[in-house]
A and B are shown apart, each in its own frame.
Chain A
Amino acid sequence: MRRLFGAIAVLLFGVVLSGVATGYVERIAPSELARRYLAEVPLDLGAANVVTGILITYRGFDTLGEVAVLFMVAATVGLLLGAETRGTSVASRPEPRPPSELVSNGAEIVLPVIFLFGVYVIANGHLSAGGGFQGGAVVASAVGLMVLARPSIGLDHGFLSVAESLAGVLYVTVGILGLVLAGGFLDSRFLPHGALGAFVSAGAIPLISALLGIKVGAELSVIIDRFRS
């Protein structure tokens, strides 16, 4: 009986989605909206990477929402998993199983490169692919590899919380600065444009990107560490 219901549900999904599949036409040229963004973002914001320009300035409020969701996830994980480990320090945990030689040796070579790549992605968000969110996730995945390679290492949750909260407060402050000095909340145009493609350019986008990267990286690292212990 359950299988029958499952089959019917799959069939209904198929009927609904078949409209999408049969009606698909490959787009040869960008749409009206995309053309407008492609033309205006480099002139208006000074950002060579159009995607980051849209995400951080035009859709800055949505990005703030994403960050808020991530913060709530981190807070909930801390609430659920933090309570049982609060009493035990790193030293009194049971001895963790040592990692394989492959992981520990490989991590020593790869880790600095991944950290550097994460910082590069954050700092060059306005020039090349990436941005604060992606770079923060890359840094956090490097932290994940680090705790895999050295299980005895303990992350300083206090420091990470302070860094994350400070970045969050500064992010909103920059947003309000945009509201006062430029066109709206999280408007990056209150700093000078600079030359298109230069490292210091695109108004406040690199600043916002860096703050986002710190916040996302710290939050995801804390989530990983909570699950580990």
Chain B
Amino acid sequence: MLSELFILVICAGILVSGILAVSLHGLMAAMISAGLASLFAAVSYVLLAAPDVAMAEAAIGAGLSTLVFLYAIRKTNAGKE
């Protein structure tokens, strides 16, 4: 029961950070929020007993793609506002 509640809270976290990623105006903040959505997704995969997928999601979704996007934002003018 408690673990189901925890999964629901994590899924709400995915939803909230996903909506924030779309609606935030600062590109940096939006990208961090998108990475946070991936991180919540990775935690939910662990809770749903899929550690293999969780590991890929945490390393690629939350780590590498966020890093690549942050470098890309820094290269454009949008990052200097």
Contacts and interface: CB of A to CB of B under 8 A. Distances in A.
Label chain B's interface by main secondary structure.
Answer: helix
Contacts of B64: 137, 140-141, 144, 220, 224
Contacts of B71: 224, 227-228
B51 A129 contact: yes
B59 interface: yes
B70 to A, nearest CB: 9
A223 B52 contact: no
A133 interface: yes
A69 to B, nearest CB: 13
B68 interface: yes
24 contacts: A49-B52, A51-B52, A52-B52, A129-B51, A129-B52, A130-B51, A130-B52, A133-B56, A134-B52, A137-B60, A138-B59, A141-B59, A141-B63, A141-B64, A141-B67, A144-B64, A144-B67, A148-B67, A220-B64, A223-B68, A224-B68, A227-B71, A227-B75, A228-B71
Interface residues of A, number: 20
Interface in B35-69: 51-52, 54-56, 59-60, 63-64, 67-68
Nearest to B70: A227
Interface of B: 51-52, 54-56, 59-60, 63-64, 67-68, 71-72, 75
Q: 4 closest Cβ contacts across the A-B interface?
A: A129-B51, A137-B59, A141-B63, A227-B71
Nearest to A51: B52
Contacts of A228: 71
A160 to B, nearest CB: 15
Given A51-B52, A121-B55, A130-B55, A144 B72 contact: no
A131 interface: yes
A220 B52 CA distance: 19
Contacts of B59: 134, 137-138, 140-141
B67 A138 contact: no
